[in-house]
Structure formats: C-alpha cells, structure tokens
Structure 1
C-alpha cells in the first residue's frame, strides 16, 4: 500500500462512526499525547519532575498500545518489539507555541468531577492547518 493510500485509510478509520467507544477527537488526542505530549510540555517550560512523569505516562500508554496491537493482530510480542524499524526521514522538533494555557497538574478526586475547569478542546485544534487534510477527505 502506498503512503498516500495508507494516509487515506488512516483518516477514514479516524472519521469512522462505527467505533462508538472512542470519538475521532479521542483517538487523535490519545495518539498525539502518547507520542508528543512530553515534548510539548518541555517546550512549554514545565519542570523536570513534571516532564519525567509525563514521559513515564506516555511510555506506559505506548506499551499498552503495543500490547493491544499484538493481541489484535496475533503477533508474537518479542518479534514485534525486537523488529528493527527504520525512519524514512528525520522527525523535526515541534516549534509552535501552544495557543491555550492548560493546567497540567494532576487532579484530586473532587476536582476531577468538576468539568467546569476542563479546557474547551476546540481551542486546542489549529484550524489554520485544516487545509492540509482537505485532500484526504475528498
């Protein structure tokens, strides 16, 4: 499958309404935060302690997803993890600054039930980038 075809398949999967457990937004933010949240927090100037905890959480989520992939596709865990992966091109660091201030401190039980303090996720989406994906949806 060519790169463009796999991108289209990915976008179609993310937009599919068949999986009512996770919305398109949930799928997207879950994947993005597991890969990139520690780097975003470093760019935002968070403390070393916060960065290490965030990185540990990201590694944990990635390990869970590895297990999910192994189970879903009948893979052997050792073969799946030990198989070398090659990058097609280097990944550039993220240099955009966040548009929204977020309080990334862990919530206590009473705070967790207070949804009023939750940021509007719509503010986190950079709509000026929407044109990048237009071709994939047509």
Structure 2
C-alpha cells in the first residue's frame, strides 16, 4: 500500500493548504519566486483539492530544510504595529485575493480615477510582507 503522500488524488484540507502557502512564502522570501509567481501559486494553493494540485506548485522548487532542534523564539513586536496577537494573518490568501478586490472595486465604483484601486495590491504586499522579521535589521536606524 502506498503512503498517503504518494497518492496524488488524495484530497487535502485547510491545514495542508496553509502549510503549502507558508512554504511558498518561504520560497518567495528567499527570492526563488517573483511576486507574480507567488500570487499565482498562492491562489492555486487556496483552490487546491488534491495532494497532486499542491505538489505541482513545488515541482521546480528545492525542498525546504526541515527544522531540527528547539522551536524558534516568538517574533518580537514591531514598535509601530503593536503587540503580537498570537495568531498570524493568513498573508498568502489575503495577497491572492487582493487583485480580485481591486478589480471588483474598479468595475463597481463610479470613482473618476478608479484605476487607483489597483494600487491596493502593492500596498497590501508592503503591509503584509514589507516589515521583515525580527532577524533582519531593516526596521532599525
């Protein structure tokens, strides 16, 4: 009998999709994916129904190193953002939905410069991914 990970037609749930999006985020952070590729693959991860759908997202990417040893320390709070809530935002799905939100606002509003709604996409990316982690010095002067 084959292991469950070897059967591409096995259905996946929310936890598997979230792990796939987290792995895509790590590949994006490492520079292996462009923003466009990340958006496309994240949207496909959210829509995935089988293990094969998720596996296809990583066919051209190297395996991520497995973490061995103690868990990493909790993220330090950013002074301008406030205290961490203990629950992380689902950044991948939010980012994957932003083009659809911008397009919907573009279509349904009578705002004269409605093309500006497309600026929500990079602004959201900056807000979700632009502050860096506590390991880098990007926020320090």
Kindly indicate whether structure 1 or structure 2 has the higher relative contact order, using CA contacts under 8 Å at least 6 residues apart. Answer: 1
TM-score range, shorter chain: under 0.3
Alignment TM-score, normalising by the size of structure 1: 0.28
The TM-score with structure 2 as length reference comes to 0.27
Higher helix share: 1
